[in-house]
């Protein structure tokens, strides 16, 4: 009879460690595959690179860390948040249209909905002039619009999704619905806003943005300059 091979305690321990490590690796790979499958149908999700647009004014890019923080928390593309902040306030935290306020120009009414329905942790009291609050509220609302307008419509391109989100952000979900149904946008402001957002998105990897330049010349200059003055105070 052949001799039974003796396995030392050290060898036995190494075999067990190797088996456990292999099992853990399989579990991690399987979990990653499941996560990717679950999120593959969701556009404009968070990317670890954060805000990568080089032509943003410094008045907006100074908020990149906060934008990245909340974009990650709400699984939204940080570049989209930065583009909408640019259009809304130019990075001026005290921007006030008389109806909406703060970096992301959220109204009191919409802010109440966001606070109770769309935040990861609902709140009762909030200050929309506070930069972190405004960025979180705006990002949470962008996630809501994306999941409501884009996720159910799998045939939409990313550019079309950005246009719908921007129309909804500026004119409300009803405006975005009209745009999607081909009924057009009655509000000239919302039409201009949604197209600017989509074109800035398309130009996000370029060295400069002609759309941003046009927005700046049309009136965005005053917001950007106000933000610069605010930063120097």
- pTM to 2 decimals? 0.83
Tell me what pLDDT residue 6 has.
61
**pLDDT, tens digit, for every residue of 153-165?**
888 999 999 999 9
58-232 folds as Lysozyme (1.10.530)
**pLDDT, tens digit, for every residue of 187-222?**
999 999 999 999 999 999 999 999 999 999 999 999
Tell me what pLDDT residue 69 has.
98
**pLDDT, tens digit, for every residue of 169-183?**
999 999 999 999 999
**pLDDT, tens digit, for every residue of 53-83?**
999 999 999 999 999 999 999 999 999 999 9
Hey, what long-range contacts does 108-112 have (CB within 8 A, 24 or more apart)?
A: 110/141, 111/137
pLDDT band at 37 (very low <50, low <70, confident <90, very high): very low
pLDDT over 80 at 26, yes or no? no
Tell me what pLDDT residue 120 has.
98
- In Å, the largest CA–CA distance within the chain is 94
Tell me what pLDDT residue 155 has.
87
Burial class (CB in 10 A: 0-12, 13-18, 19+), 38: exposed
Question: What would the mean pLDDT of 138-165 be, rounded to a whole number?
Answer: 95
**pLDDT, tens digit, for every residue of 78-109?**
999 999 999 999 999 999 999 999 999 999 99
């Amino acid at each position: 009879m052949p001799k039974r091979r003796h396995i030392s305690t050290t060898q036995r321990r190494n075999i067990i460690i190797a088996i456990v490590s292999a099992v853990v690796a399989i579990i991690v790979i399987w979990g990653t595959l499941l996560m990717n499958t679950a999120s593959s149908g969701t556009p404009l999700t968070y990317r670890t690179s954060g805000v990568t647009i080089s032509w943003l004014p410094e008045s907006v890019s100074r908020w990149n860390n906060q934008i990245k923080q909340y974009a990650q928390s709400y699984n939204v593309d940080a570049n989209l948040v930065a583009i909408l902040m640019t259009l809304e306030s130019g990075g001026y935290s005290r921007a006030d249209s008389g109806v909406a306020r703060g970096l992301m120009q959220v109204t009191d009414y919409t802010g109440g909905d966001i606070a109770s329905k769309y935040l990861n942790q609902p709140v009762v009291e909030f200050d929309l002039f506070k930069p972190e609050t405004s960025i979180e509220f705006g990002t949470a609302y962008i996630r809501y619009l994306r999941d409501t307008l884009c996720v159910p419509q799998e045939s939409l391109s990313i550019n079309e999704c950005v246009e719908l989100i921007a129309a909804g952000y500026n004119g409300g979900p009803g405006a975005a619905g009209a745009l999607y149904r081909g009924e057009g946008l009655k509000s000239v402001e919302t039409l201009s806003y949604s197209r600017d957002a989509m074109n800035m998105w398309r130009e996000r990897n370029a060295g400069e943005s002609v759309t941003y330049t046009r927005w700046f010349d049309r009136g965005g200059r005053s917001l950007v300059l106000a933000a610069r003055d605010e930063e120097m105070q």
